[in-house]
């Protein structure tokens, strides 16, 4: 899916915000970040871009309604709309008059965050984007190894700090979910899907308030975060890599079995790697001395003992066919199969992220 955002340069902050919201919903975005000036080449490039989109978003403000370039872009989009090739979504942010040529369109008054999210979600659903994402599509993404574009990390609100980390400071790695797979779901569902507070990130009180950290995983962040699927093979690699934890040296046989770079960490030999990790008598952890494999996994990864029975280290936090699993601290409903990933416990200030307060499980707030 491709979208074009039409706006006045004065409203660039609004345009960037909408662009991020659409990207997290799977859209590729055409958004001009430079100053628009006259010229046939610019007009041609705009017309070409609009000729390749599914969605045309126009930001209506007192600045844009008088913009000649916004009017030009709208004319291009309206021509394509006649043939049913593009959907136009006018978003009104103030009391400016809706242009006459848009009054026949369904436009949204989006002066509050809630109204903006609701209108955008309604718009993308009309284009076939399913929010929340159904289990069968998540299964397809798992089998196709679809890259995660935006990560989701849940942090107890009492522990969240903008100058802090994604997890407890002593943690080396943390679990994250795929934001696209959890968007539109309630806090209760997300906690259950990702086993937060149950198998991962043990908490003593189910009635905590939670904060969602949503962050972009581009090429730069992918390297900085050390993104890997949450599988036993990947964890073995992290434990044995000198550039990561380096807690032991793999045998020649294990190096061969890990395979060359570009490794498939989802290979179906997860039980082998689990046995290799847990068969060690002890691991040496700085400040703790020798600890059991289970204590090591809890210290560095946030695993609790009972999660070994839950995930099987396959990289997905529920049986892939959606069968009911063990009872969660937060919900006894069947979980939605949801992919799990591991990332370095990064400083929040160094990743491109936004946060959303989700409150308590009984508040019924939805991830947007």
pLDDT band for position 321 (cuts 50, 70, 90): very low
pLDDT at 305: 59
Which of 10-24, 57-71, 309-323, 336-350 is predicted least confidently? 309-323
Summarize the confidence of residues 267-280 as an average pLDDT. 90
Q: Hey, where are the domains in the chain?
A: 2-126, 135-363
**pLDDT of 151 higher than 90:** yes
pLDDT band for position 331 (cuts 50, 70, 90): very low
pLDDT in tens, 217-234: 977 677 789 999 999 999
Label each residue of the chain as H, E or C. Answer: CEEEEECCHHHHHHHHHHHHHHHCCCCEEECCCCCCCCCHHHHHHHHHHHCCCCEEEEEECCCHHHCHHHHHHHHHHHHHHHCCCCEEEEEECCCCCCCHHHCCCCCEECCCHHHHHHHHHHHHHHCCCCCCCCHHHHHHHHHHCCCCCEEEEEEEHHHCCCCCECCCCCCCEEEEEEHHHHCCCEHHHHHHHHCECCCECCCCCCCCCEEEEEEECCHHHHHHHCCEECEHHHHHHHHHCCCCCCCCCCCHHHHHHHCCCCCCCCCCCHHHHHHHHHCCCCEEECCCEEECHHHHHHHHHCECCCHHHHHCCECECCCCCCCCCCCCCCCCCCCCCCEEEEEECCEHHHCCEEEEEEECHHHCCECC
**pLDDT of 114 higher than 90:** no
Provide the whole-model pTM: 0.83
Pick the CATH number of 2-126 from 3.40.50.10140, 2.60.120.1440, 1.20.1070.10, 2.70.98.10: 3.40.50.10140
pLDDT at 104: 75
pLDDT in tens, 207-220: 789 999 999 897 76
């Amino acid at each position: 899916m491709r979208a074009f955002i039409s706006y006045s340069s004065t409203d660039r902050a609004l345009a960037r915000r909408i662009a991020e919201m659409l990207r997290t919903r799977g859209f590729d975005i055409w958004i001009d970040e430079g100053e628009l000036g006259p010229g046939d080449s610019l007009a041609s490039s705009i017309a070409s871009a609009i000729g390749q989109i599914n969605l045309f978003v126009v930001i209506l403000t007192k600045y844009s309604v008088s913009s000649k370039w916004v009017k030009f872009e709208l004319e291009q989009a309206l021509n394509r709309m006649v043939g049913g090739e593009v959907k136009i979504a006018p978003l009104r942010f103030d009391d400016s008059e809706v242009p006459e040529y848009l009054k026949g369109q369904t436009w949204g008054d989006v002066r509050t965050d809630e109204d903006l999210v609701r209108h955008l979600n309604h718009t993308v659903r009309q284009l076939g984007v399913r929010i929340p994402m159904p289990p069968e599509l998540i299964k397809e993404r798992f089998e196709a190894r679809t890259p995660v574009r935006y990560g989701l990390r849940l942090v107890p609100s009492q522990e969240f700090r903008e100058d802090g980390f994604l997890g407890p400071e002593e943690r080396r790695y943390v679990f994250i979910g795929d934001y696209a797979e959890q968007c539109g779901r309630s806090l209760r569902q997300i906690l259950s899907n990702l086993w937060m507070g149950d198998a991962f990130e043990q908490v003593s009180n189910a009635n905590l308030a939670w904060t969602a950290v949503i962050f972009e995983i581009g090429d730069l962040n992918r390297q900085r975060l050390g993104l890997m699927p949450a599988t036993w093979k990947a964890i073995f690699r992290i434990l044995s890599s000198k550039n990561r934890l380096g807690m032991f040296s793999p045998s020649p046989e294990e190096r061969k079995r890990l395979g060359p770079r570009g490794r498939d960490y989802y290979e179906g030999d997860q039980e082998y790697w689990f046995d290799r990790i847990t068969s060690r008598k002890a691991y040496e952890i700085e400040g703790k001395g020798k600890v059991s494999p289970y204590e090591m996994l809890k210290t560095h990864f946030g695993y609790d003992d009972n999660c070994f029975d839950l995930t099987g280290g396959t990289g997905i936090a529920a049986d892939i066919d959606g069968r009911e699993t063990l009872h969660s601290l937060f919900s006894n409903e069947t979980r939605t199969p949801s992919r799990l990933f591991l990332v370095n416990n990064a400083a929040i200030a160094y990743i491109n992220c936004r946060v959303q307060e989700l409150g308590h499980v009984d508040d019924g707030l939805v991830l947007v």
